[in-house]
Each structure stands twice: as structure tokens, then as C-alpha cells.
């Protein structure tokens, strides 16, 4: 019983550490062949937006808005994938099934 409690405590500590690590891992999403790039943490928090000035044409406002939104959505999707990869890696290191869902 003590061994099981120790293992659970270790797992809890590793999950907490991963939560902190996800806040500092970054991913970059892009759209328009790199004209718009959005950077986010692996937790999905948007941290930066880089926009090529060439997309700012008044007559094509909707295009610019679509490119910006697409880059943000791409960054968020990449963040989710990265978080899932890191959690899968953690569960495998601990000898748990790869598809086991641990709390985020």
C-alpha cells in the first residue's frame, strides 16, 4: 500500500511539473504561407502575433482577418497536439498505458 501511495505521489508531482513546463513550451501556427504567424504556449495561451505588412490592403480587410484567425487557430491546434504528446510521453515513462487520460 505504501508503494502504491508513493507511486501516486510521484505521478502527481510529475503531472504538476508537466503543467508548469507546458506554460513555457511554445508552438507557432501560421497561415498564408507564413504571412501571419501566431505563437502560443503548449497550454494554448497566445503569446505573440507576427504579421507581414503586405497583407494590410484596405480593400482586402476580410482576407487579413481570415489569415490572422487561421494562424491563431493553427497555433492553438498545435498547442493541443504538443500537450497531448508530452502527456503521452509522461505516461509511457511511468509505465502507464499511452491512452490513459491524466488530469490537466
CA–CA separation, 55 vs 14, rounded Å?
Answer: 44
**Grid coordinates given for 77:** 491546434
Length of the chain, please? 104
Q: What is the pTM of this model?
A: 0.81
**CATH fold of 26-93:** Ybab; Chain: A; (3.30.1310)
- Whether the CB-CB separation of 40 and 79 falls below 8 Å is answered with yes
Alpha-helical runs (H) found in the chain? 2-24, 61-93
- Whether the CB-CB separation of 22 and 8 falls below 8 Å is answered with no
**Grid coordinates given for 89:** 510521453
* pLDDT > 60? residue 14: yes
Tell me the pLDDT tens digit for each residue of 44-87.
999 999 999 999 999 999 999 999 999 999 999 999 999 999 98
Amino acid at each position: 500500500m505504501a508503494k502504491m501511495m508513493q507511486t501516486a505521489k510521484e505521478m502527481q508531482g510529475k503531472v504538476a511539473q508537466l503543467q508548469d513546463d507546458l506554460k513555457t513550451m511554445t508552438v507557432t501556427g501560421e497561415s498564408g504561407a507564413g504571412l501571419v504567424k501566431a505563437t502560443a504556449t503548449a497550454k494554448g495561451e497566445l503569446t505573440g502575433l507576427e504579421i507581414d505588412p503586405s497583407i494590410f490592403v484596405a480593400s482586402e480587410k476580410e482576407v487579413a482577418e481570415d489569415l490572422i484567425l487561421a494562424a491563431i487557430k493553427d497555433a492553438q491546434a498545435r498547442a493541443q497536439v504538443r500537450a497531448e504528446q508530452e502527456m503521452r510521453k509522461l505516461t509511457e515513462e511511468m509505465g502507464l498505458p499511452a491512452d490513459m487520460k491524466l488530469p490537466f
